[in-house]
């Protein structure tokens, strides 16, 4: 019985987790309004074609830092909260702002800012003291605007927390205002009716405007109504919201505002504008049937010319729902815990379960990675976000290979540990906005992204694996009795092998970067911070290898050096971006700086542990003569 | 005994490790210092010196002496070469190691050669303009022209309160002031202006002021000098010569800047006041003179046919910059069109032309400016060394790594 259990438990557990993952793939059904269908409509935002669903998720992430909106955040956590999907939120923001403006979506956590805007304090009916609605903030918009004018003049590096909060909130409100002007003017009460009357008024309006300009008598009612509409459409277009109207053969993707402004110039409005207006009217009138039929009509209009855009949107929506990186993260945690337990009771079936689970997580991780590459048409690493995903993937693969040879749970713990941490980092980087942003001119080259960037990132990943193995060595050695001589030797051999591997990739990657720079700027090496960061990794790995060959360091020296590798790599990965100089710098965030410093401090603490004499190591104490 | 110790020292792995450690610290502080000192300044201070004296880090001055980039690089090279000569024995087992280190030697030597031989220049042109020369981005020269007689004086020689005598010129030049970086303002009529710097030439229309040297990468220093021309008899007074006036692209930039404030007509007027070469008559000869970026003439020319700047739809994110140019080389009888874009430079006649900046697309169109393009022009005879070096090190490390791996795997399988 026990044997059967030991044999079958690992695969059964993996199958359970796999069922959990694949079960979530089924998209949720629309109840009345077809918001999921709405999410599949193509739109151009941030310079690329994407589904409304991605626009909704990215915007909600930027504004509220979540992908589902909790409408009642002031309720206790154990009570059932009403939550809605990002799609439903976006549909209401763009087409039914009267309702959306009541939802607590803006994060205002800074207490000074809360009091500046005279926002309600935490209570049990309409405020959790942290999330506020447009309607709650709106009365103080002028105050905010004034403060923001002042803050904008301050260099972003020398702003206080309060000033950062001002700038951030202003950015979020701007984004919200853009979204509100995507489909209809934000102040529309009954958009389909207003649109129809505008179209009707065009001939009379033009006549009145011409007469007015010529200094002749004109119909003032017609003129005022026309001028009022033109000015609000101009306002709409000037906000530069996403482009929702597909090309009609003569134009590219267009904004509603631009199309409305073109209407008096002999370019009649297309069916898409009308269908969107119908949807808006139906949503405001709470008429799901009308909404769904307008939506169906819009989709059928898109089919003949935009079938590729529709297919791409559908694919991306599927990817959004799959959430492969989140799911992989959950499984990594489980696998890591099982493997760690296996060290204590030395249970082979626990270790095997962990291996099975890591394989499953790696499979999901890989699926997500490849899916992203196909969606983007790019190599795996294009920005900081995807570098985190790829470092996790590479480290996981190395860990699996190590486990295959050593079969002692160490590879699995390294795989799941780094996989989990990097996916957490990626999750936080995703809060900055669209993670599939377009590549600026100089980066727009798949060849160098596929060679230089991938090599350097594999170099990062392997240096982290070596460092993580070193952490395992120290934790097990100092705090437990599980680091016997064989395990220690095996760990040291793994670290040495991985450092060799890391040297190869970081060196080749760094030099390829130089060659890319030579190809695009005319200089092989410019001492740019990011280049220097990569060079330090190469030099450090080379130093470890030479010190080992020269006998200057042995097992524990190697372990401590590998931990310094963690510091060096995190500096190159994130630290140099915080200097705010050079060609590679892409922004600075206070939170990132705090976490980087904490990471460095923790690594130094581990090195200090590693330097403790053997008598303080629980694993070594018994073997060394006192 | 002494010789043996010296040889042991220079071939030891301890020296390698020490030098690598020094290199890491140097690269790290050299990166941090860029915040305080600027990229170019920090590069030269830390990496292009034998010894680094004093550091500026995080707003503080640290009095310390540290080996510089040249010293560490040279010692590493000596260490590497010496160790290989001294311990070299050809075995199949070590072939990867030898190959990798040979590659590193090539990279170090190549980088040193680039450092000494490479020259970086720029070429500015509007659509329709032809250029047969490239200009230095950092160095200026003072030019005196009388008909076909041209005298060039490097700006390096202009030192405040010096007097220069040049054989080909019938006068001496007294440098009254020299500012490495400067700014200018138009002396608009009807506004409160102080007295002009001098009463001759461009100084009557513009005020020039000295400004601190720039540290950032995308700005450059524009020098200005106040000079007095001293003929054997008589006086000509003081003159201002400035990089702002002698550099066509800067004059153009000034014009664009003023066009927004005072309208295109007035801006054109201001630009021609600034850009026209100043003249002085001495001993019956008329000399035109200006302070301009050093020019390097080539036996061929490029004409900018079209500058294109595209963005992603609905955004300002640049998607592509490209310049279509006509390459004409009368000597070789060559006349062809070439496209230069980001990541696709033109290599010709030992020079490489890279797309650098561009003023084209919607913004330029709306402001009514002629589309223009700036190319970076580089002469680097050793540009191939990193390619070869990288291939050698990569191959060497790969061989070594694979040998270890196969040995490891076969040992595991035997178990």
User: How far apart are alpha carbons A608 and A472 in whole angstroms?
Assistant: 15
> Which band of pLDDT confidence, cut at 50, 70 and 90, is reported for residue B412?
confident
Distance from CA of B298 to the nearest CA of A (A): 18
A519 → closest Cβ in B13, B345, B390: B345
Distance from CA of B184 to the nearest CA of A (A): 24
pLDDT per residue as tens digits for the range A285-340: 999 999 999 999 999 999 988 999 999 999 999 999 999 999 999 999 999 999 99
What's the pLDDT at A567? 96
What's the pLDDT at A9? 85
Residues across chain A: 626
pLDDT per residue as tens digits for the range A528-547: 888 899 999 999 999 999 99
- The CA-based angle A435-A436-A439, given to 5 degrees, is 115
> Which band of pLDDT confidence, cut at 50, 70 and 90, is reported for residue B216?
low
Cβ contact B31–A576 (<8 Å): yes
Percent of chain B having pLDDT more than 70? 98
> Which band of pLDDT confidence, cut at 50, 70 and 90, is reported for residue A202?
very high
Distance from CA of A449 to the nearest CA of B (A): 12
User: How far apart are alpha carbons A358 and A351 in whole angstroms?
Assistant: 11
Alpha-helix residue ranges (DSSP H) falling in A242-287: 256-262, 271-284
User: How far apart are alpha carbons A380 and A463 in whole angstroms?
Assistant: 19
Tokens for B144, please give them.
Answer: 């005196």
pLDDT per residue as tens digits for the range B125-180: 989 999 999 999 888 999 999 888 889 999 888 888 888 888 888 888 999 889 98
How many CB atoms neighbour CB B115 within 10 A?
15
Residues of A whose CB is below 8 A from B31: 527, 529, 532-533, 576, 579
Task: Count, in order, helices (H) and strands (E) of chain A.
Answer: 25, 6
Tokens for B79, please give them.
Answer: 């260490």
In this prediction the pTM is: 0.87
Residues of B whose CB is below 8 A from A567: none
Residue of A244, A261, A259, A257 lying closest to A301 (CA atoms): A244
Cβ contact A504–B394 (<8 Å): yes
> Among A535, A539, A550, which would you mutate to test the B interface (most chain B Cβ atoms within 10 Å of its Cβ)?
A539
Alpha-helix residue ranges (DSSP H) falling in B118-247: 243-246
Residues of B whose CB is below 8 A from A497: 404-405, 408
| Helix, strand or coil, per DSSP, at residue A244 | coil
Segment of A1-10, A120-129, A301-310, A458-467 carrying the highest mean pLDDT: A458-467
Q: Which range (A228-232, A329-333, A396-400, B208-212) has the least confidence?
A: B208-212
Mean pLDDT on B339-360: 89
pLDDT per residue as tens digits for the range A58-70: 999 999 988 889 9
Q: Is the pLDDT of residue B251 over 80?
A: yes
B319 → closest Cβ in A444, A514, A535: A444
A582 → closest Cβ in B39, B118, B380: B39
> Which band of pLDDT confidence, cut at 50, 70 and 90, is reported for residue A587?
very low
Residues A208 and A125: beta-carbon distance below 8 Å: no
User: How far apart are alpha carbons A218 and A227 in whole angstroms?
Assistant: 13
> Which band of pLDDT confidence, cut at 50, 70 and 90, is reported for residue B281?
confident
Cβ contact A47–B314 (<8 Å): yes
- The CA-based angle B188-B194-B200, given to 5 degrees, is 75
What's the pLDDT at A421? 95
| Residue A615, CA distances (Å) to A483, A607, A609, A612 in order | 14, 16, 12, 8
| Helix, strand or coil, per DSSP, at residue B172 | strand
pLDDT per residue as tens digits for the range B193-215: 677 777 778 888 888 888 888 76
B263 DSSP assignment = -
For chains A and B, what is the number of CB pairs under 8 angstroms?
Answer: 168
Q: Is the pLDDT of residue A373 over 80?
A: yes
Q: B7-14 long-range CB contacts below 8 Å, 24 or more apart?
A: B7/B82, B7/B86, B10/B78, B10/B79, B10/B82, B10/B83, B11/B79, B11/B82, B11/B83, B11/B86, B11/B87, B12/A550, B12/B79, B12/B83, B13/A546, B13/A547, B13/A549, B13/A550, B13/A552, B13/B83, B14/A550, B14/A552
Cβ contact A520–B16 (<8 Å): no
Q: Which range (A256-265, B351-360, B402-411) has the least confidence?
A: B402-411
pLDDT per residue as tens digits for the range B31-76: 888 877 777 788 888 998 899 988 887 778 888 899 999 999 999 9
User: How far apart are alpha carbons A340 and A354 in whole angstroms?
Assistant: 9
What's the pLDDT at B253? 84
> Which band of pLDDT confidence, cut at 50, 70 and 90, is reported for residue A440?
confident
Q: Which residues pair with A68 in a beta bridge?
A: A85
User: Which chain B residue is nearest to residue A405, measuring alpha carbons?
Assistant: B412
Q: Is B321 on the interface with A (CB under 8 A)?
A: yes
User: Which chain A residue is nearest to residue B405, measuring alpha carbons?
Assistant: A497
> Among B24, B69, B351, which would you mutate to test the A interface (most chain A Cβ atoms within 10 Å of its Cβ)?
B24
Mean pLDDT on B222-243: 86
| Residue A88, CA distances (Å) to A32, A34, A83, A578, B207 in order | 11, 9, 10, 37, 61
How many CB atoms neighbour CB B396 within 10 A?
23
Q: Which residues pair with B240 in a beta bridge?
A: B226
> Which band of pLDDT confidence, cut at 50, 70 and 90, is reported for residue A586?
very low
End-to-end Cα, chain B, rounded Å: 49
């Amino acid at each position: 019985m026990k044997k059967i259990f030991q044999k079958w438990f690992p695969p059964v557990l993996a199958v359970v987790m796999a069922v959990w993952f694949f079960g979530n793939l089924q998209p949720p059904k629309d109840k009345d309004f077809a918001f999921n269908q709405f999410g599949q409509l193509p739109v151009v935002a941030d310079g690329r074609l994407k589904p409304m669903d991605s626009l909704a998720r990215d915007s909600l992430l930027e504004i509220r830092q979540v992908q589902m909106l909790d409408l009642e955040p002031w309720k206790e956590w154990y009570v059932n909260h009403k939550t809605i999907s990002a799609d439903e939120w976006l549909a209401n923001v763009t087409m039914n702002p009267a309702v959306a403006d009541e939802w607590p979506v803006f994060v205002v956590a800074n207490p000074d800012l809360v009091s500046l805007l005279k926002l309600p304090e935490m209570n049990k009916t309409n405020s959790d003291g942290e999330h506020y609605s447009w309607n709650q903030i709106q009365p103080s918009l002028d105050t905010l605007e004034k403060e923001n004018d002042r803050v904008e003049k301050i260099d972003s590096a020398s702003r206080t927390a309060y000033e950062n909060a001002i700038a951030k909130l202003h950015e979020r409100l701007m984004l919200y205002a853009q979204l509100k002007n995507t489909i209809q003017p934000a102040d529309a009460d009954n958009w389909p009716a207003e649109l129809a009357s505008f179209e009707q008024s065009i001939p009379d309006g033009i006549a009145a405007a011409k007469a007015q300009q010529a200094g002749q008598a004109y119909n003032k009612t017609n003129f005022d109504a026309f001028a009022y509409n033109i000015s609000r459409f101009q306002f709409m277009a000037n906000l530069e919201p996403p482009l929702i109207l597909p090309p009609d053969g003569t134009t590219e993707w267009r904004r509603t505002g631009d199309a409305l402004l073109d209407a008096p110039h002999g370019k009649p409005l297309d069916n898409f504008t009308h269908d969107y207006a119908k949807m808006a009217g139906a949503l405001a009138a709470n008429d799901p049937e009308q909404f769904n039929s307008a939506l169906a009509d819009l989709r059928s209009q898109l089919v003949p010319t935009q079938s590729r855009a529709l297919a791409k949107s559908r694919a991306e929506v599927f990817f959004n729902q799959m959430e492969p990186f989140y799911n992989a993260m959950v499984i990594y945690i489980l696998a890591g815990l099982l493997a760690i337990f296996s060290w204590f009771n030395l249970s082979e079936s626990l270790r095997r379960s962990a291996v099975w689970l890591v394989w499953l997580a790696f499979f999901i991780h890989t699926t997500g990675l490849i899916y992203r590459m196909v969606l983007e048409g790019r190599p795996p690493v294009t920005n900081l976000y995807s570098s985190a995903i790829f470092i996790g993937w590479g480290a996981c693969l190395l860990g699996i290979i190590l486990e295959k040879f050593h079969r002692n749970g160490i590879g699995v713990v390294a795989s799941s540990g780094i996989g989990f941490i990097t996916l957490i980092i990626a999750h936080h980087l995703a809060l900055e906005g669209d993670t599939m942003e377009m590549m600026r001119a100089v980066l727009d080259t798949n060849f160098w992204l596929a060679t230089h960037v991938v090599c350097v990132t594999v170099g990062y990943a392997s240096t982290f694996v070596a460092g993580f193995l070193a952490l395992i060595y120290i934790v097990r050695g100092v705090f437990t009795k599980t680091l016997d001589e064989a395990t220690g030797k095996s760990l040291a051999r793994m670290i040495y092998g991985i450092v060799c591997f890391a040297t190869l990739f970081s060196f080749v990657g760094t030099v390829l970067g130089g060659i890319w720079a030579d190809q695009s700027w005319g200089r092989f090496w410019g001492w740019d911070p990011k280049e220097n960061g990569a060079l330090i990794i190469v030099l450090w790995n080379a130093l470890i290898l030479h010190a080992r060959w020269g006998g200057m360091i042995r097992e524990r020296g190697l372990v401590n050096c590998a931990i310094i590798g963690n510091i060096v790599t995190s500096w190159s990965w994130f630290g140099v971006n915080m200097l705010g100089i050079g060609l590679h710098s892409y922004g600075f965030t206070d939170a990132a700086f705090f976490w980087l410093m904490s990471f460095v401090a923790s690594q130094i603490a581990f090195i200090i542990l590693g330097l403790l004499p053997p008598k303080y190591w629980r694993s070594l104490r018994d073997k060394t003569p006192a | 005994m002494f010789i043996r110790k010296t040889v042991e020292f220079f071939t030891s792995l301890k020296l390698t490790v020490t030098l690598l450690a020094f290199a890491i610290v140097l690269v790290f502080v050299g990166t941090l210092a860029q915040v305080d000192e600027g990229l170019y300044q920090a590069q030269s201070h830390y990496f292009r010196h034998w010894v680094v004296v004093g550091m500026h880090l995080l707003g503080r001055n640290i009095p310390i002496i540290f080996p510089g980039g040249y010293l560490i690089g040279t010692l590493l090279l000596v260490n590497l070469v010496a160790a290989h000569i001294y311990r070299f024995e050809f075995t199949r087992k070590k072939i990867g190691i030898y190959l990798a280190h040979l590659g590193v030697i090539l990279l170090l030597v190549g980088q040193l050669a680039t450092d000494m031989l490479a020259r970086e220049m720029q070429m500015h042109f509007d659509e329709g303009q032809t250029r047969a020369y490239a200009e230095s981005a950092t160095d200026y020269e003072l030019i005196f022209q009388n008909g076909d007689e041209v005298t060039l004086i490097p700006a390096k020689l202009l030192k405040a309160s010096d007097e220069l005598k040049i054989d080909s010129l019938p006068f001496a030049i007294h440098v009254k002031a020299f500012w490495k970086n400067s700014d200018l303002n138009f002396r608009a009529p009807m506004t409160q202006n102080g007295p002009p710097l001098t009463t001759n030439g461009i100084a009557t229309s513009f005020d020039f002021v000295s400004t601190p040297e720039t540290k950032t990468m995308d700005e450059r220093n524009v020098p200005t000098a106040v000079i007095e021309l001293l003929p054997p008899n008589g006086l000509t007074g003081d003159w201002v010569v400035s990089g702002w006036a002698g550099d066509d692209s800067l004059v153009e930039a000034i014009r664009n800047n003023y066009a927004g404030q005072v309208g295109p007509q007035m801006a054109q007027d201001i630009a021609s006041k600034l850009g026209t070469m100043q003249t002085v008559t001495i001993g019956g000869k008329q000399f035109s003179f200006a302070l301009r970026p050093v020019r390097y003439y080539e036996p061929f020319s490029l004409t900018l046919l079209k500058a294109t700047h595209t963005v992603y739809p609905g955004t300002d994110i640049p998607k592509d910059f490209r310049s279509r140019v006509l390459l004409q080389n009368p000597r070789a009888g060559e006349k062809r069109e070439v496209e230069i874009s980001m990541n696709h430079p033109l290599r010709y006649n030992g020079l490489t032309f890279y797309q650098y900046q561009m003023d084209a697309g919607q913004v330029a169109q709306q402001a009514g400016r002629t589309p223009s393009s700036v190319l970076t022009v580089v002469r680097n005879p050793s540009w191939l060394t990193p390619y070869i070096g990288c291939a050698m090190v990569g191959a060497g490390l790969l061989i070594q790594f694979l040998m270890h791996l196969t040995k490891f795997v076969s040992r595991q399988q035997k178990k």
